[in-house]
Structure 1
């Protein structure tokens, strides 16, 4: 049984209990149960993000993950998996997508709750930017979490969460791409971000009920790309999904594949 240590920052007791029940429910369903999970619940996204930044400074770490676009965070800087979540996420995304976001973070706590998953070093001969490498590490870990949640039957909430993220960013992606594609560095970061989208949703395409809807959203997400680049990204995530490797080895292989299939196509 997992021990859940909760800290609440100005959150209504009833809302806190509902979120804790969501965490407990998923932990009961998985085979591997981490012995300890820290669950920090915030009232607002701004307070959660401020806390995340302060923790980054406290532990002397630097990531590209503390983005204004993130609705929750996970880490293991305390030595055990930790989830940071804001009640405001439910209000902004809606309950289905908001709980989907929380379950996604719980999946990371289960699969990536040790320090080794947060101090991943880029291969010395890698030709991509550190920012791009970071996004690829996130993509691989998201793919693994989505595989877990798909096996446990959490599909509709994950699709709702995915759609909320994709549609939020879609207009800006389309507007910026004509400029970004002329800059090699910006282009690789942009394409890595799209790879992350595809990795997140890929396992759920196995669902006959939601396959058509997923394909529609994916096509919209990639609609600003050329046919060749789009095909390369789709082929890449399919190849990565077939890898039978441990997480860190999978990240290294995915990096190599990204360089070969995507990076060289935009040089």
Structure 2
């Protein structure tokens, strides 16, 4: 049995707390794992969650941008044990099936990626060459590594949950994620004239694409492509075609363990867009 350490920041209704814990426990009963402990953080408000993680990043020394701020829920293992953070204010704004899928998605991460090593990835040879060619900052490289590693891990989690019998909600979750957020659209407008920033924007959408492409062969290719077209409608045709080509390669690139897959995906991504 997994020991769950619960911490609450703000006023958390008992019903919400109970629902969250029941979903998490049900996942651990159904999915194969060797997990012993999980920390669960429940936040009443987005501002509480933002403040908490701002301090955590400073204390721990996390250097990349806070891309997770817009996520429904968060999994990380910065302090050596898996930790899932959930915000009541965010959860109340989304459909129940998406709440359920998001929670199970993070539980999947706790099982597959529940230790600090899954948050430390190398600079690949091609990434080093790319960085040198465009004189990229260390922070930029760390951000790109983080975004690509998230995509790799999300692909793995989606496949894992499908095997666990959570197909229907993961399809709904992927359909929800692929829709561009306001942040996605703003980021693209601000970055589209700068090549390096464009690459970062595209990498930021890989997470959503990875969840979707992991649904093959459950979903037909035509349906997946249609969903991707809707999700990336704001991207110029030539770049979109490159994204589609790269996305279709993901299942072949994701053949090794997490770290081998990360290297393969990173190098293929850089090759595609250089």
Change (3 A) 1:162 1:244: closer
Contact 1:100 1:161 (8 Å CA) reproduced: yes
Aligned to 2:46: 45
Q: Secondary structure at the match of 1:96?
A: helix
Q: Secondary structure at the match of 1:206?
A: coil
Find the aligned partners of 1:43 and 1:179 in 2 and give their Cα distance. 32
Stretches of structure 2 lacking an aligned partner (at least 5 in a row): 132-139
Match of 1:246 among 247, 254, 257: 257
Find the aligned partners of 1:218 and 1:86 in 2 and give their Cα distance. 28
Contact 2:178 2:209 (8 Å CA) reproduced: no
Q: CA deviation at 1:206?
A: 2.4
C-alpha root-mean-square deviation of aligned residues, in Å?
Answer: 2.4
Aligned to 1:19: 20
Contact 2:27 2:104 (8 Å CA) reproduced: yes
Contact 1:81 1:109 (8 Å CA) reproduced: yes
Find the aligned partners of 1:136 and 1:254 in 2 and give their Cα distance. 8
Alignment: residue pair count: 261
TM-score in terms of structure 2 length: 0.85
Contact 2:187 2:201 (8 Å CA) reproduced: no
Match of 2:165 among 137, 141, 153: 153
Q: CA deviation at 1:227?
A: 3.9
Change (3 A) 1:89 1:173: closer
Find the aligned partners of 1:239 and 1:81 in 2 and give their Cα distance. 30
**2:225 equivalent to 1:224:** no
Query: 4+ residue stretches of structure 1 with deviation over 6 A?
Result: none
**2:12 equivalent to 1:7:** no
1:50-89 to structure 2, matched below 5 A, reads: 50-89=51-90
